[in-house]
Chains A and B, each alone.
Chain A
Amino acid sequence: MQTDTRRRSLLKAGGLGLLLINVDGAERWLSPRVARAETHPYRVLDATAVVALEAFGETLLAGAAEAGLAHYIDYHLSVPAPDSLLLLRYLDAPPPYAPFYQAGLAALDNHAQALDGMRFSELTAERRTEIVSAISAENPAGWQGPPAPLFYFAVRADAVDVVYGTVEGFEKLGVPYMPHILPPSKW
């Protein structure tokens, strides 16, 4: 073999990150959680979409917003499709992926407006849960966006990724990570 593949050497080789962010003129890899905490600007999603996404993500899985769900999705909408790590690519949605999320979030807000006269993020937690439960099963009347159950599945998977799919997430669940090549930054 050309490469030293002993586990110890591979652990040293981990050098990638999740979000390549320009910080003070130099690019460095950040976890989504840190990118959010440091309020790095979004690349693709506008402020309205981010607010809706964080509210949706928190409804899907508490902790998703703080874990940087919006930065994670936004960054991976900004990179070329082969570099995107979003689970959406497994769902055979043709790239680019940004319209899928933008249209889905707009549909979510519009649906909330139609039902309750306010945006999704402005609803009570209980009401958000009712709406998410409904869209997880089928397109509600008047829904204008990607298929609602598919949108639910994709963003839920993203929330699960940032909350559970990291070294930190494994630790919180008590699951040994046991890497061959460790992802960086405990993202």
Chain B
Amino acid sequence: MRRPEKVDVAIVGAGAAGSVFAAQLAEAGRSTVVIEAGRPWQLSDLVSSQIWARRLKWLAAVAEQAGSHRVSLAAGMGSGFGGAALHHYGTWPRFSVDTFALASLYGRGLDWPIGYDDLRPYYDRIQAELGICGDTEAETWRPPADPYPLPPMPQFAQARVLKRGFDALGMPTAQLPLIINSRPYRGRPACLYDGWCDAGCPTGALANPLVNYFERARTAGAELRSGCTATRILSDARGRASAVEYVCGGERLEQHADVIVVAASFVETPRLLLNSASGRYPQGLANGSGLVGAYFLTEASAFAYGLFDEPTEPHMGVNAGQLIYRGAIDAPKTDPQAFGGYQWQIAPAVKPNDIFGIAVARAELFGAPLHSFVAEAVGHYASLLSFGSGAPVRANRIELDGTKDAHGMPLARVVHEFPPEALGLWRHLLEEGRRIVQAAEAREVWTSQRPMTGHIVGGTVMGSDPAQSVTNSYGRCHEVPNLILAGAGLFPSSGGTSPTFTIHAVSVRAVEHLLDHWSDYAG
């Protein structure tokens, strides 16, 4: 077994969280290695095509899905440098205040060990550094925060059409806050609004790890290894994490490090920890609580669609949407049959094909009716999508399956069922979405048919009690003091919105704590 030179920090996973850790650790002078299973994407790989974009996505290492509701994993996850953040849509609202205290406020799910006030300084610093465009005044639901550094993006026809519906129903909208430049900002150009975000933004107008944190990490000397699949985290006689075992080019290696960060996604992180069982950790590494893999949480998402007489130019804008309604996100959650806040993302730019494309919006059509629909819809279609926040269920989880991959590592098994209150919220969203599109004066209105997978969090949740969580608020494992977990897997609840801004905030807070307490972590 070859053992490359020991480093200060080994990071597994090159997505949003891994990139933040790599940049800040390397800039602080810590020798840093990033081990990534996927490819070393460059900006020139980001071909403007929904078909080519599929290369950027994760290939599910899942053998089986159990439970009543399958989870759509691959389309929203990434593989290679940048991870999902390389092709994410850049929707960057902050989590609402009550997201952090669902158990205390409503007796549901789990509390976070931190609150919004703990994260606010990091949210503010990151938005100043990367630039978020939005409408500070119009977002009446936004928690206390610095104003957005960039003005709202322009509105196109699809947004103007759908806004009529919200206005008619008295539902205030604002420009969707986006990590996309509405004008040049800190060396990155302004967006061209041509709707290729899902294929990755090669101009860097939509900030992704290739144009921010990994650029910084490389400059500071971090080593990024691609095509290297971590198979186990090894531990030493003291119970500390000692090395990442990984396979690269058919060779099995061990990367020893003082501190190990696992930021490998809400599926791969628990899979790796569970596969790292040893005599000292028979249930898996950092799994004394038995909660590694548990509280895997997906939002139940709903779409509403309409065809309009007037032109809507649905190809214009960005994939995330142009407007947002978040008026109900932190309202008191008093309905036990439909628990959770939610947001509407309004008027996403869409292409004719692909999983969120126009043709899929009417999946029952084929033949001549399909062609007639697409030919009309490319000029007159409008859509909006919703994400319901929710409380996690312990029984929804990631496990190891008996089937193994090419490296001999067990595949994952996903167990998932939406709880009744999540389905209640989803049904409410379908009904509300239909009313909105009707109020916008569409001549044809329809909705999605099944609860669709929204954002995914959990699986290695943070908390104050070691018996009820895997890590503390810094992602530091309760049982293994030099092992840090990072990413949305830490989140004990979902925010009803993209978790990527919050992943950044939690990660910056964690890496700064690590640097400030280095000797305590590194032993």
A interface list, Cβ under 8 A from B: 1-3, 5-7, 10, 13-14, 16, 18, 59-62, 81-87, 89-92, 94-95, 129, 132-133, 136, 152-153, 156-157, 160-161, 164-166, 169-170, 173-183
A180 with B203, Cβ < 8 A, contacts A160-B357, A165-B49, A175-B378 known:
yes
Taken together as a complex, chains A and B put the C-alpha atoms of A60 and B359 apart, in Å, by 12
**Size of the chain B interface, CB-CB below 8 angstroms:** 61
Q: Is the contact region of chain B dominated by helix, strand, or loop, or is it mixed?
A: loop
Residues of A within 8 A of B363 (CB): 153, 156
Q: Is the CB of A61 within 8 A of B366?
A: yes
Residue of B189, B353, B370 near A161 (CB, 8 A) is B353
Q: Is the CB of A180 within 8 A of B215?
A: no
Q: Is the CB of B63 within 8 A of A165?
A: no
Q: Is the CB of A180 within 8 A of B353?
A: no
Q: Which of B54-62, B249-257, B474-482, B502-510 lines the interface with chain A?
A: B54-62
Q: Is the CB of B315 within 8 A of A175?
A: yes
Q: Is the CB of B353 within 8 A of A164?
A: yes
Q: Is the CB of A85 within 8 A of B51?
A: yes
Q: Is the CB of B47 within 8 A of A183?
A: yes
Q: Is the CB of A94 within 8 A of B60?
A: yes
A60 with B355, Cβ < 8 A, contacts A7-B203, A85-B51, A94-B62 known:
no
In the complex, how many angstroms separate the beta carbon of A99 from the nearest chain B beta carbon? 15
Residues of A within 8 A of B54 (CB): 84-87, 89-90
A5 with B202, Cβ < 8 A, contacts A61-B371, A89-B74, A173-B375 known:
yes
Besides A165-B357, A178-B315, A180-B202, 14 more A-B contacts (Cβ < 8 Å) are: A2-B215, A83-B55, A84-B54, A86-B54, A92-B74, A152-B366, A156-B359, A156-B363, A160-B357, A174-B378, A175-B315, A175-B351, A175-B352, A180-B194
Residue of B47, B72, B359 near A14 (CB, 8 A) is B47
Taken together as a complex, chains A and B put the C-alpha atoms of A13 and B60 apart, in Å, by 30
Q: Is the CB of B355 within 8 A of A3?
A: no
Q: Is the CB of B73 within 8 A of A92?
A: yes
Indicate if B395 sits at the interface (CB-CB under 8 A): no
Residues of A within 8 A of B374 (CB): 160, 164, 173
Residues of B within 8 A of A86 (CB): 54
Taken together as a complex, chains A and B put the C-alpha atoms of A94 and B43 apart, in Å, by 28
Q: Is the CB of A92 within 8 A of B65?
A: yes
Q: Is the CB of A165 within 8 A of B192?
A: no
Q: Is the CB of B366 within 8 A of A169?
A: no
A3 with B43, Cβ < 8 A, contacts A89-B57, A136-B364, A174-B378 known:
yes
Q: Is the CB of B72 within 8 A of A90?
A: yes
A61 with B367, Cβ < 8 A, contacts A92-B73, A160-B353, A181-B47 known:
yes
Residue of B189, B366, B378 near A173 (CB, 8 A) is B378
Closest partner residue, chain A, to B46 (CB atom): A181
Residues of A within 8 A of B68 (CB): none
Q: Is the CB of A61 within 8 A of B370?
A: yes
Taken together as a complex, chains A and B put the C-alpha atoms of A16 and B50 apart, in Å, by 14
A1 with B211, Cβ < 8 A, contacts A10-B202, A61-B371, A175-B352 known:
yes
Taken together as a complex, chains A and B put the C-alpha atoms of A174 and B358 apart, in Å, by 14
Q: Is the CB of A3 within 8 A of B44?
A: yes
Indicate if B433 sits at the interface (CB-CB under 8 A): no
A165 with B351, Cβ < 8 A, contacts A62-B371, A181-B44 known:
yes
Q: Is the CB of B379 within 8 A of A157?
A: no
Residue of B202, B203, B315, B352 near A164 (CB, 8 A) is B352
Residue of A2, A5, A60, A165 near B50 (CB, 8 A) is A165
Give per-residue flags for B168-202: 1 if the beta carbon is below 8 A from chain A beta carbons, else 0. 00000000000000000001110010111000011
Residues of A within 8 A of B73 (CB): 92
Taken together as a complex, chains A and B put the C-alpha atoms of A181 and B47 apart, in Å, by 5
